[in-house]
Amino acid sequence: MATPFRLATVEHQGQPRPALLVEDIWLDLTAATADQRLGAPTSLPAGAGSLLALLQAWDRWLPWLRSLAEQAPRGELPATLRLPADPGALRLPFMPRQIFAAGANYYGHAVEMGGARPNKSEQQPYFFCKLLSSVIGPGEQIVIPPPVTQTDWEAELVAVIGRPAANVTPAEALDYVAAYTIMNDVSCRNFGRRTDQPFGMDWILMKGWRTFGPIGPWLVPAEFVPDPQKLQVRLWVNDRLEQDFNTDDMIHTTAEQIAWLSRVAPLQPGDVVSTGTGAGVGRPKGRFLQPGDRVTIEIERIGRLENPVVAG
């Protein structure tokens, strides 16, 4: 078994740096690639796009990343590669190439939103595209604009694609996942449905507001998440536990979602699939986010994503 590690973007001396986190050690990947003794595949410039570049050549980078993770706890790497282990320095890991987000993909959530328990044999996966302009990182503010009066939370497991995937089967779909992370699919409930148009649901007005897509805090390589359908997910608003569900309640599994999407459009490294949320969102309870709140999501084996809420 390889030594578990995570990949993050960390602000250091005013600059975003790609980092490998193993135990309590944070390594500067840009500095590590510049050390010829370590045999990196190529150089990795500092900057917000570094981890996306790494994902785009995932099979080339992965063996080298494993090697760093093994050497670091044994003290075999130069001390000059170390970054301060400061959770407050974590930034958005990378800007996704595209965000495919599943709608109503948990039995519990479908029922709490007023529907009957879905019959999987009678439906296909259902997706919308989350706007990239909504994306923020850990610790950044979720900004509620004046027109939005019902701001809801949705804790979601995210699969990050690391290999081109076209027409793959569910049996092989997880082989195309490089890593997993977390997204809060923040939702505006008061504008979700339209009465002035015949189409009913308006995904832009429900999901597309700026800052309504927190992602992070880092990427956990897929080999350290043996089964994405056996992960406990919890979300707190301040100290109140609002969501507590397991990914085994998904209607369409992570693999089935990736396979279905890959038949529609080839998935590319850096695309992400946000797999839906479970029961416990605010609308059925009549509770919504307010300025001054703090939202915290924890997913087993992945980590913890926190964001404050402010008025905009």
- pLDDT classification of 272: cutoffs 50, 70, 90: very high
Residues 190 and 300 in one domain: yes
Residues 132 and 195 in one domain: yes
Q: What pLDDT, on a 0 to 100 scale, did the predictor assign at position 76?
A: 96
Residues 69 and 104 in one domain: no
Q: What pLDDT, on a 0 to 100 scale, did the predictor assign at position 198?
A: 80
Q: What pLDDT, on a 0 to 100 scale, did the predictor assign at position 197?
A: 80
Task: Give the mean model confidence (pLDDT) for residues 223-233.
Answer: 98
Compute the half-sphere exposure of residue 269: CA atoms within 13 Å on the CB side of its CA: 14
- pLDDT classification of 192: cutoffs 50, 70, 90: confident
- End-to-end C-alpha distance for the chain, whole angstroms: 47
Residue 14 counted as domain residue: yes
Residues 146 and 57 in one domain: no
Residues 286 and 201 in one domain: yes
> What would the 3-class secondary structure string for 34-82 be?
HCHHHCCCCCCCCCCCHHHHHHCCHHHHHHHHHHHHHHHHHCCCCHHHE
What is the number of structural domains in the chain? 2
Residues 294 and 237 in one domain: yes
Q: What pLDDT, on a 0 to 100 scale, did the predictor assign at position 196?
A: 79
Residue 27 structure tokens? 């390594």
Using the 3D structure, point to which of 43, 70, 90 is the last residue of a domain.
90
Residues 26 and 146 in one domain: no
- pLDDT classification of 77: cutoffs 50, 70, 90: very high
Average pLDDT score over the chain: 96
Residue 104 counted as domain residue: yes
Q: What pLDDT, on a 0 to 100 scale, did the predictor assign at position 195?
A: 77
Residue 60 counted as domain residue: yes
Residue 67 counted as domain residue: yes
Give yes or no for a contact between 217 and 131, defined as CB atoms under 8 angstroms apart: no
φ, ψ dihedrals at 249, nearest 5°: -90, 5
The answer, yes or no, to whether residue 1 has pLDDT greater than 80, is: no
The answer, yes or no, to whether residue 200 has pLDDT greater than 90, is: no
- Note down the domain range covering 133: 94-311
Residues 48 and 132 in one domain: no
Using the 3D structure, point to which of 90, 125, 142 is the last residue of a domain.
90
Residues 142 and 84 in one domain: no
Residues 69 and 110 in one domain: no
Instruction: Report pLDDT digits (tens) over 3-48.
Output: 999 999 999 999 999 999 999 999 999 999 999 999 999 999 999 9
Residue 272 counted as domain residue: yes
Residue 50 counted as domain residue: yes
CATH number at residue 224: 3.90.850.10
Angstrom distance (rounded) from CA 220 to CA 10: 15
Using the 3D structure, point to which of 57, 72, 90 is the last residue of a domain.
90
Residue 1 counted as domain residue: no
pTM for the full predicted model: 0.97
Residues 6+ apart with CB under 8 A from 131: 99, 204, 207, 208, 213
Angstrom distance (rounded) from CA 139 to CA 251: 31
Residues 52 and 121 in one domain: no
Instruction: Report pLDDT digits (tens) over 131-190.
Output: 999 999 999 999 999 999 999 999 999 999 999 999 999 999 999 999 999 999 999 999
Residues 34 and 66 in one domain: yes
